[in-house]
Chains A and B, each alone.
Chain A
């Protein structure tokens, strides 16, 4: 009793609150068939799930926001998997299962839900080609949403070209219905960021594992997203509805990276071509320079040679004129002998008594021949 008296004594509400703290930690996935279901004006949904045998029944609550987010319209007889935790309502002491999300069970149900939603969104024109936006040329600022776990993000980054991309990464779960909240939060985070393209990627999976990407709210977020969206989501048969709503859809994260590389590679090819053309122009200019230099050298050589030739010719003429100058001969001591004004070139015909005029450099001597 003494020991007992030392134990803390709880008030009922206080104890229920304590229990709820413990219970909230116990998140489980619970499978059952919806047996009753009512949505109140507040939007909250109160329903029950039971085993197929009908032996076990559990009251459940799904808050309005979560119900709208999960994309499943609960109906009596529908088999679902709920994710959530138990909670005791203090005023009644009643235990309920608070479901955070609900997933349809079985490929058939999933496929029907997928087809119904696809048809509805298609009719609204959300997948129309006309509303697809092109990826901006030379986009650099890229927002990426995917799970940091696994190879997908590495595949994407490894396949991005070295063009100086600035990647803003937001981590999100991408598996199953539970990923919806994460994906929506990540997309809303990206809305306010300075990015040019949003890329949402994950590896391949079944219709069940890709449930989050078939969520109506998510599709509408993508449609309204301020910049073009690339969805690189692997899939087996049914294309995720989010991918259909995205501006560009690729089947793998690698293909999404290649799509971003495309305009850069085209630009690089154009630059290479331009550099090649510039190289050609430079070669041609160099050739013209060489031709001009060669022509100039030739002109210089010819002109110098011509001047040299003229100089030599003038020198030659000068020498010839000097040699032919009769006064030069006279200055050297030669004289010109004339008889009767005619030059005497021979002694023949000259006799004694003839008068001869001898012209010297500085005058003329008249003389008489003696013999």
Chain B
């Protein structure tokens, strides 16, 4: 359940980043303070997403190693 929740959060983070970038594309007159606030938020989301993706990748590598060592038996 926790993993599923984390995966959902990961997906949600990416969607949020995409929304922020979209917000930038749509601005005709940039509110720098708002922009900085959004950039800060996006950076945090990116950092969290990278961390989560690394966890997912490691977890996958462990599973793969376990399965492939079983196949050799």
- The chain A residues found within 8 Å of chain B, CB to CB, are 293, 296, 300, 303-304, 307, 310-311, 313-314, 317-318, 320-321, 324-327, 336, 343, 345, 359
Contact = CB atoms under 8 A, between A and B. Distances in A.
A317 B18 CA distance: 7
Contact of A325 (B14, B39, B57, B64): B39
18 contacts: A293-B71, A304-B60, A307-B60, A310-B49, A314-B53, A317-B14, A317-B18, A317-B42, A318-B46, A320-B24, A321-B46, A324-B21, A325-B36, A325-B39, A326-B30, A326-B39, A327-B39, A345-B29
A326 B35 contact: yes
Contact of A307 (B18, B21, B36, B56): B56
8 closest A-B pairs (Cβ-Cβ)?
A: A324-B24, A321-B42, A317-B17, A325-B39, A326-B32, A320-B21, A326-B35, A318-B46
Contacts of B49: 310, 314
A182 to B, nearest CB: 67
Contacts, number: 54
A320 B43 CA distance: 11
B64 A307 contact: no
Interface in B18-71: 18, 20-21, 24, 29-30, 32, 35-36, 39, 42-43, 46, 49-50, 53, 56-57, 60, 64, 67, 71
Contacts of B17: 317, 321
A303 B30 contact: no
Contacts of A313: 14
Nearest to B33: A326
Main secondary structure of the interface of A (DSSP, over half): helix
B18 A324 contact: no
B29 A343 contact: yes
Contacts of A326: 30, 32, 35-36, 39
Given A303-B60, A310-B53, A327-B39, 8 more contacts: A307-B56, A310-B14, A314-B50, A317-B17, A320-B21, A325-B36, A326-B35, A345-B29
Nearest to B49: A314
Contacts of A296: 67
A314 B14 contact: yes
B53 A311 contact: yes
Contacts of A320: 21, 24
Most chain B CB within 10 A, of A303, A313, A325, A336, is at A325
B58 to A, nearest CB: 10
Nearest to A324: B24
Contacts of B50: 314
A288 to B, nearest CB: 13
Contacts of B21: 317, 320-321, 324
Contacts of A307: 53, 56-57, 60
A330 to B, nearest CB: 9
Contacts of A336: 32
A352 B15 CA distance: 48
Given A307-B56, A313-B14, A324 B35 contact: yes
A131 to B, nearest CB: 60
Nearest to B23: A324
